[in-house]
Amino acid sequence: MATPQDTTQESAPNTGSWRDELEDVGFVRRVLISRLWYGPDWWFVAISAVMVAGFITLAIIPGAFAPYRPDVLVGPRFLAPNARPDLPVLVVGGSSNATQLRDLATLPGGERPSIGVLQGVPTAGALNQEAQSIDEQLKTEPEGLRLRPRIVRFDTLDATLQALQDGKLTAVVVRQLEFEQVAKQFPGLREGSPITGETATAGGFLLGTNEIGQDVFSRLIWGTRIALIIGFSASIVALLLGVPLGLFAGYSSGPIDRLLSLVMDSMYAFPGLILAIAITAVLGPSVLNVIVAIAVLYIPTYYRIVRGQTLAVKEELYVDAARSLGARSMEILRRYIFPNVIPSVAIIFSVNIADAILTGAGLSFLGLGLPPTIADWGIDLARGQRFIQTAWWMITFPGLAIMLVVLAFSMMGEGLTEIFNPKLRER
Amino acid sequence: MNLSPFALIFVVIGAPAFIALVYIFVRGSAGLRRYILTRIVLTLPMVFILASLVFFVMRVLPGDPVSSALGPKGTPEMIQRVRAQLGLNDPMIVQYGRFLRDVVTFNFGNALTGGHRPIVDEMSERFPATLELVIPASILALLIGVYGGAFAAARRKKATDYALRLYSVVIYSLPIFWLGLMLQLLFGVRLHVLPISGRIDAVVGTSLKHVTNIYSIDALISGNWNAFRSAGLHLVLPTVTLGLILSGVFVRLTRINVIETFQSDYIAAARARGIRERVLVYTHALKNAMIPVITLIGLQVAILLAGAVLTETVFSWPGMGSYLVERISGRDYTAVQSVITVFALFVALISLAVDIIYSLVDPRVRY
């Protein structure tokens, strides 16, 4: 049995033995053993295959990885990555065992809780709103509890907390971070939970929030879906049209071939993004239109490579032999030419997905193509660009995501090219 | 027919090229002459096909340009009037004929929206801006690409090779607009060393005499050093963005070609004669390897222009790309169609030039 150590030596018999071994093992083992042959290129393909698998998983079940849905407003606006939101929090005296606003509810006729707030800050409004909604909810419950706090306003934070310390108030509602700064001066006070019930977001957001308070990380994960949908569908459509056209043109090589080639070459030379801009501008924004526009761009890529290979293979002796034995054109195409074309098509397909994702992102960055409600990296980048001076995280992460996905697919293509292109392989 | 400013630009750029072409044509061999003629004849259908493609995409696909340009304010009578003015009620074939005539005479009519200026005038301001961005970017990309590629090939299967290959793959995967944003963030917002938008400081810009509309050249001509400095500084980030993105492809292409050349007999012969490996790579192999790279430069024009559209948008660079995007947002189909036609013309001319240079460098293709 040949071990990796054996093969690194340059002795011929050993090299021969693991090559022979390739013949009688299964596909998975064969792929693993070929690692010894291809070296770093194999790793290129392997690593990118793992990345691609990961992204596909993300795209299929984004909900399992993203903490929030992409379109919900989950927190304050422009919150930096991992920064804690400054939520209004309930603070009570050390003897009280209340932790939530709801715990302060009393029976009718009992003493109404007095809650201190700072004058002129949003906490007061939040408290009012929250207390009312809790009260509404309590009305429907049988215990008969009600929450009707007496709200006392103060001018400074110190005065508020001092009043609570002195027992003049039942509780206060203040900004969490502000309270934590001065908490040491008021040892008798205890921090409860945020009054708005956003305990889940109290720890902050991994990649921050955007200009309307959506979670950047969740949008990133959900964005995988649309990127891969566009990449795969556009490439498949282009492949389904480009490959048969290329086979046909290469095999027939008549005037139709010349005309088709002229059109395809013109399209190939033209900047794809600009053509896509024109098509989406006319078709209007929708996912389907973006796919159509991008697919049209990449038909020539398949066409050119397939046609070229068909032309080359057509001249091979075995094709002549088959023809002289009476094989029909369809059979020659299917049995002799098509299998020769597949490896190049596989490489192009992989690189093509990468290209299509980039083009799609470019289109949506320009504000074309996708409807603005979709969670898409290009759209997120365009939104973030306006806030480049303040919110670096809004433009950094979506671009990183695009890069990683495109990298996975193009690395796969790059590795496959080296593996499949015998011209470049040294003996 | 009077010559538009835009046609003037083409003439200024095209005249020396044309003289060179005539010279080559007269002095060259019969094979070269035949090749150049064939190539020129083949360029015309390419422009024709692209222009027609644009025309039919704009007409056949659903969506009415006029009603969307006028917006909700457009009454049916207004729409009818504008349609008649633009000749959109004529049969398709008549419109197509008129469109082709406009392309040939460089007269694209007036913009549907925003000031209704002649599109040609607007483009003659925008096109030099794109040139100012695209030319230095290509030079940067070629420098990085050719030396990086040769370097990688010389150290094939070593760490440097894999690092440079990784570079080209990573660069290829970078969304160009994101690279632009990141450079803006680093050099503009964090370090405050480079401007992140526009072509020139507004104050300095007023002192600049516009001759070619390529600001750095205008500043040089008039000896306005302040303006030159400002224009130069504004040029750095967009150029680097576009140049880096392009360089990845060139690294890859040069590397592959140098490796292929390395396997040829004359290199083996040179190596056998004891010529040093470094000389072998940078003089013997690189020269021949550059030949296919030249043709590929022609194809990279596509990447260059697509990249320019995004770069211009990111850096608020008032070139053709941002003009296209503006006009699309304004739903001005006449302008969009004209811009794309000019792009097509540009691509066709560059690939023609590249092919002719190729035939000069590599005599094999002429036959």
Q: Is the pLDDT of residue A427 over 70?
A: no
CA closest to A270 among chain B residues = B302
> Greater confidence, A130 or A320?
A320
B193 touches chain A (CB under 8 A): no
Q: Compute the radius of gyration of chain B from its Cα atoms.
A: 24
> How far does A84 lie from chain B, in Å, by closest CA?
23
Q: pLDDT-based confidence at A299, cuts 50/70/90?
A: very high
B177 contacts A281? CB cut-off 8 A? no
CB contact under 8 A, B173 and A281: no
Sign of CA dihedral B84, B85, B90, B96: negative
Q: Scanning every residue of chain B, which has its alpha carbon at the shortest distance from the alpha carbon of A38?
A: B157
Q: What is the nearest CA distance from B328 to chain A, expressed in angstroms?
A: 7
CB–CB of A306/A348 below 8 Å?
no
SS3 at position B364: helix
> Tell me: the pLDDT tens digits for B259-314?
888 788 888 888 888 888 788 777 777 777 777 777 777 777 888 888 999 999 99
Tell me the nearest-neighbour CA distance from A146 into chain B, angstroms. Answer: 53
Mean pLDDT of the A316-326 span: 86
Low-confidence winner among A7-21, A30-44, B306-320 (lowest mean pLDDT): A7-21
CA distances from B205 to B134, B193, B208, B357 (A): 21, 19, 5, 38
Residue B219 C-alpha, separation from nearest chain A C-alpha, in angstroms: 30
**Facing A424 at nearest CB: one of B54, B62, B259:** B259
Contacts of A406 in chain B (CB under 8 A): 172-175
Q: What is the ipTM of this complex?
A: 0.84
Residue of A nearest to B316 (CA): A385
Q: Judge whether residue A200 has pLDDT over 60.
A: no
| Residue A3, pLDDT score | 44
Q: Collect all residues of chain A within an 8 Å Cβ-Cβ radius of residue B174.
A: 403, 406
A76 pLDDT band, cuts 50/70/90, is confident
What's the confidence (pLDDT) of residue B9? 64
Residue A16's pLDDT is 55
pTM of the full predicted structure?
Answer: 0.82
Whether residue A11 has pLDDT greater than 60: no
Residue B162 and residue A40: Cβ atoms within 8 Å?
Answer: yes
Find the residue in B nearest to A390 (Cα): B189
CB contact under 8 A, A273 and B256: no
Q: Which of A274, A68, A90, A297 is nearest to A174 (CA)?
A: A90
Nearest to B170 among A388, A407, A424 (CB): A407
> Is the pLDDT assigned to residue A156 strictly greater than 90?
no
The reply to whether B36 touches chain A by the CB within 8 Å rule is: no
Whole-number Å distance between alpha carbons of B360 and B367: 12
For residue A166, pLDDT beyond 90:
no
Checking if the pLDDT of A357 tops 90, the result is yes
Stretch 238-257 of chain B: residues touching chain A, C-beta under 8 Å: 256
- The burial of B193, by beta-carbon neighbours within 10 Å (0-12 exposed, 13-18 middle, 19 or more buried), is given as exposed
Rg of chain A over Cα atoms, rounded to whole angstroms, equals 32
Question: So what's the pLDDT on residue A2?
Answer: 41
Of B57, B260, B348, the CB nearest to A279: B57
Neighbours of A20 (CB within 10 A): 10
CB atoms within 10 A of CB B337: 25
Using a CB-CB cut-off of 8 Å, the residues of chain A touching B63 are: 282-284
* Pairs of residues, one from chain A and one from chain B, whose beta carbons lie less than 8 Å apart: 156
Separation CA A247–CA A155 (nearest Å): 81
**pLDDT class of A17 with cuts at 50, 70, 90:** low
Q: How far does the CA of residue A319 sit from the closest CA of chain B (Å)? A: 28
Nearest by Cα to A63 from A72, A75, A76: A72
Decide if pLDDT at A10 tops 50.
no
CA distances B86 to A191, B61, B95, B99, B109, Å, are 71, 18, 9, 11, 9
Residues of B in contact with A389 (CB under 8 A): 189
Q: Which of A275, A365, A404 sits opposite B177 (nearest CB)?
A: A365
Measure the CA–CA gap between A338 and A310, rounded to whole angstroms: 8
Cβ-based contacts of A358 with chain B (< 8 Å) = 173, 175
Residues B265 and B271: their CA atoms lie apart, in Å, by: 10
Mean per-residue pLDDT for A61-75? 84
Q: Do A385 and B181 touch (CB under 8 A)?
A: yes
With CB atoms and an 8 Å threshold, state whether B58 touches A262. no
> Per-residue pLDDT tens for A203-223?
678 888 888 888 889 999 999
- All structural domains of chain A, each given as residue ranges with its CATH number in brackets, are 27-70+210-426 (1.10.3720.10), 88-197 (3.40.190.10)
pLDDT in tens, A410-423: 888 877 877 776 55
Contact: A279, B302; criterion CB under 8 Å:
no
| Chain A: residue whose CA lies nearest to B182 | A396
Report the residue of chain A nearest B56, measured CA to CA.
A279
Collect all residues of chain A within an 8 Å Cβ-Cβ radius of residue B325: 277, 366-367
> Tokens in use for A49?
């295959």
Predicted local confidence at residue B8, as pLDDT: 61
Instruction: HSE, CB side, 13 Å, CA atoms: give it for residue B54.
Output: 29
Taking only residues 99 to 158 of chain B, the set having a beta carbon closer than 8 angstroms to any beta carbon of chain A reads 156-157
Tell me how far apart the alpha carbons of residues B234 and A138 are, in angstroms, rounded to a whole number.
63
Q: Which of B39, B48, B61 should one mutate to test binding to chain A, selecting the residue with the greatest count of A CBs within 10 A? A: B61
CA distance B224 to chain A (A): 31
Query: Where residue A57 falls among pLDDT bands split at 50, 70, 90?
Result: very high
d(CA B362, CA B353): 14
Q: List chain B residues with pLDDT less than 70.
A: 1-13, 60-74, 112-115, 363-367
Q: Which residue of B has its CA nearest to A391?
A: B185
Name the residue type at position A222. Answer: W
Chain B residue with minimal CA distance to A261? B46
Strand arrangement of the beta sheet that strand A171-175 belongs to:
A150-154, A114-118, A171-175, A88-93, A189-194
Q: A283, B63: Cβ pair inside 8 Å?
A: yes
In the stretch 287-346 of chain B, residues with CB closer than 8 A to chain A read: 298-299, 301-306, 309-310, 313-314, 324-325, 328-329, 331, 333, 336, 340, 343-344
Residue B184 and residue A282: Cβ atoms within 8 Å? Answer: no
Element (H, E) at A139: helix A122-139
